[in-house]
Structure 1
Amino acid sequence: MDLRPYKRVEETNKKMKRVEDQSRISKLPDSLLILILSLLPTKDAFTTSVLSKRWEHLWPSIDSFFFSCKDKSQRKNFISFVDYVLDHSTCSKIKNFHLNFTHLSKYEQRVGFVDDIVDFTISRWVPTNEVKNKNKLLFPISRWLGTVMRMTSLITLDLTCCILDKEVVIEWKSLKTLRLNDITLDDDGIVNILSGCPALEILEFLEFSGFRHMEISSSNLKRLKFENHLSYYNSDDLSLDIFTPHVQHLEISRYMYDLKCRLVNVSSLVSAKLTFQMNWTWFDQGPDEHQVIKILIEDYLQKLRNATELTFGTCSLIRCCF
């Protein structure tokens, strides 16, 4: 039996359905289509320009940009694409700007390896005069943050594997949420950040090291999170004193290794989540090690006595033998 006529009919029906779907979508108002395109990776939003003359003029109005370069061999094409999109953007107010060079490894960023072409383009893409108001910036890039430091309109900022120069003045006056991922800061660097973020409400450290004193006097900051201490940081005293009398929600989770987290003043806590894992080497006190652990837990409970929600969860000890 020859099935070719049936296959042709099936293919024709599929084509008609695609045309019908496109026609239905095209009936939506421009404002809604632009909103949808703004949620897509920018490359996908740009690709819709081939659909018709109408779609050709929609993507320049998107207010959120998501650029990602995952292949080092495509770097030049990627830079050209970002240049083209930003040059043709007609949006008056950018809400989100996500720029990700995943081909730069963590090692390359820590030792300061950056080629000139990337360094130049980052400076060009994030202008100092803030031609466009960027409310949210997701910026997993190292070193090129001098201009970002002066972006006073930022509301949310995520920084990954960045080197923050403590000599640079930070002016994130409107910033409410700051997430620092895979970052090393000393105590002066922490002070510099906090002094430049007077409106900060949420502060998160995801894979962190360096600082030993976290003192937050601002009554605006309500949420503080520490997740994963970077154990390769060398120090004789691996301790972190937390002095946050106005913070209401505290989370310490995953691996703290040898870092001793001391709750100095957390008197306003409403909820606390302590689910971190510690090295047993803290407590290598011979026959008295269980007493040391008991004292540690009692101290936590005493400092957290005002909290109405307390989670100890999977908090555990790991014995490390070297």
Structure 2
Amino acid sequence: MANKAATCQEIKEKVCEDRISVLPDALLVQILLLLPIKEAVATSILSKPWRCIWTLMPKLVCKDTKHTNSKSVWWFFEQSLQLHKSPILEHLEVKLGSRCPADVDVGKLILKAVERNIRLLDFNLKWSAKPISLPKTLYTCKTLKKLILSNKILIELPFEVFLPSLIKLELFNVAYKDEGSLIRLLSSCPVLKTLIVVREKNDNVIKFSVKVPSLNSLVYINNNDDDGVCGCGCSSSSSSGSLIIDSPQLKYLRVNDFSEDGCSIESMSPNLTMARVDVGSPPNENFLTYLSSVKFLHMTWIDETEVFCSCVNYSQLIECMLRPCRAEYWVESVMLLLDNSPNLKVLMIDTKGIGESDDLRRWSYVPECLSSQLEILEWKKYGGTRDEKQLLEYILASSKCLKRAGISMRYSKDCNDKMKKKLRKELKSMPRASVSSELLFPAKFKWRSSVAQHCLFDLF
């Protein structure tokens, strides 16, 4: 009986044994990284060995929500950073909402991060106060590889800066003291590969100049409402502006700008392979010339569509996504582009919101890409208007190498099941030059270059 009692005691002790605490500190840190910071810090009360584990975490994330007290969140995070002991802070993410008190010392937090050899800094400030300047030390950090600044941040750089390791820079709705501050920031990044810019209102920059020799990827989204007042409260001298690109190594370009601002390219590599251009009016002639090297093109337009489609020889283009926003002349524009794209293999058309024009069209020629190259056609939001039907019939009847045509329908509100069935039957009966081609419902193909885009952006 004594032996049996001893055995039961041993089993009980094994069941109660704390096996997690005996794990190596490095593994415990990885476990804590899966928890919110408050819960990770709370583990310090578990036992003496746990007291300092959280201070070795290489990643700290602080986010306040509408359900939290911003002041207490800030105090908690500031105290946590003071106790932090990791020699290298890989990742610091701070997102403070509109209720954040205006007297918090943001600069102090940045300085502590720089002292700990910060690699990735994501700072999002949405308080109700004016935009603030960040400490000079941030702009001379030798270890910083990725920097994300959002909202109430003022880029004010009257001094020379140097960020020798910065690979990726993201600027979301920030304000600039002047154009010189923007130029100094970008020129301080000798190895910058990816730049993402979102402009929400007039930010005190008229000529947005991107002169970065090492740049591979550029995303520029301009939501400027041209109200004449910059994000830092200054009055701009003009409501018009422009984007100027001087980056000879650029491979991926996205421009989303439906304002009246212009866009020009001063120097760009002919190796530009991917471009997404969503604009209200066409950029200058030099910009269009450099689009001639792209292999993947995503285009949304409103006005002067024939400029995009007739003035550029897309000799390298193999995949194209077209999204016209107005009914007038959109079919002619598509035909012009097809005629200038002899190697096009994948064509995607999205006609959401397109109405019907007054002109009937007849084409007496067949673009080279239709007779010898086009393999996949995808049509989204096909509504069966006369224009859409004419173009679809023409492409199907002319594409000798077509393997698949996918169509996603856009039905009117009064379209019943019987009408839907009739419309599909009409599509299936359209003559096809390629007898082996399939007609599929709905369209499933995605813009293939978006995968490559993510690969370019995933640099850190």
Q: TM-score, normalization: structure 1?
A: 0.71
Which residue is equivalent to 1:88?
83
Residue 293 of structure 2 corresponds to residue 293 of structure 1: no
CA distance in 2, matches of 1:43, 1:75: 14
Structure 1: 5+ residue runs without aligned partners?
1-19, 106-113, 281-289
Deviation at 1:315, TM superposition (A): 5.9
Which residue is equivalent to 1:140?
124
Residue 93 of structure 2 corresponds to residue 98 of structure 1: yes
CA distance in 1, matches of 2:259, 2:308: 16
How many residues align? The count is: 276
CA distance in 1, matches of 2:74, 2:44: 20
Out of 141, 154, 167, the position equivalent to 2:144 is 154
Which residue is equivalent to 1:239?
242
> What letter is aligned with 1:48?
T
1:242-279 Cα deviation digits (max 9, x unpaired)? 333221111124x5333333345433343223252527
Residues 53 and 128 (structure 1), Cα distance of their counterparts in 2 relative to 1, 3 Å cut: closer
CA distance in 2, matches of 1:298, 1:317: 18
Residues 308 and 177 (structure 1), Cα distance of their counterparts in 2 relative to 1, 3 Å cut: farther
Residue 159 of structure 2 corresponds to residue 175 of structure 1: no
Deviation at 1:23, TM superposition (A): 5.3
Higher helix share: 1
> What letter is aligned with 1:41?
P
> What letter is aligned with 2:107?
S
CA distance in 1, matches of 2:78, 2:195: 32
Residues 128 and 49 (structure 1), Cα distance of their counterparts in 2 relative to 1, 3 Å cut: closer
1:170-204 Cα deviation digits (max 9, x unpaired)? 22121110000012445433311122111111111
Deviation at 1:64, TM superposition (A): 0.8
Which secondary structure state, in structure 2, belongs to the residue aligned with residue 200 of structure 1?
A: coil
User: RMSD of aligned C-alpha atoms?
Assistant: 3.6
CA distance in 1, matches of 2:322, 2:62: 38
Which residue is equivalent to 1:12?
none
Residues 23 and 245 (structure 1), Cα distance of their counterparts in 2 relative to 1, 3 Å cut: same
The structure that has the greater radius of gyration is 2
CA distance in 2, matches of 1:152, 1:318: 53
Residue 110 of structure 2 corresponds to residue 126 of structure 1: yes
1:273–1:311 Cα contact (<8 Å) kept:
no
Out of 154, 158, 165, the position equivalent to 2:156 is 165
Out of 224, 228, 235, the position equivalent to 1:230 is 224
1:66–1:99 Cα contact (<8 Å) kept:
yes
Greater relative CO, 1 or 2 (CA 8 Å, sep 6+): 1
CA distance in 2, matches of 1:21, 1:136: 40
Residue 198 of structure 2 corresponds to residue 206 of structure 1: yes
CA distance in 2, matches of 1:201, 1:215: 12
1:278–1:318 Cα contact (<8 Å) kept:
no
Q: TM-score, normalization: structure 2?
A: 0.52
Structure 2: 5+ residue runs without aligned partners?
1-14, 126-130, 229-237, 283-301, 329-460
Q: Structure 1 stretch 94-103 or stretch 77-86: which is displaced more?
A: 77-86
Deviation at 1:122, TM superposition (A): 1.5
2:245–2:265 Cα contact (<8 Å) kept:
yes
CA distance in 2, matches of 1:22, 1:277: 64
Residues 269 and 39 (structure 1), Cα distance of their counterparts in 2 relative to 1, 3 Å cut: farther
Out of 13, 21, 30, the position equivalent to 1:35 is 30
Which residue is equivalent to 1:285?
none
Which residue is equivalent to 2:350?
none
Which residue is equivalent to 1:314?
323
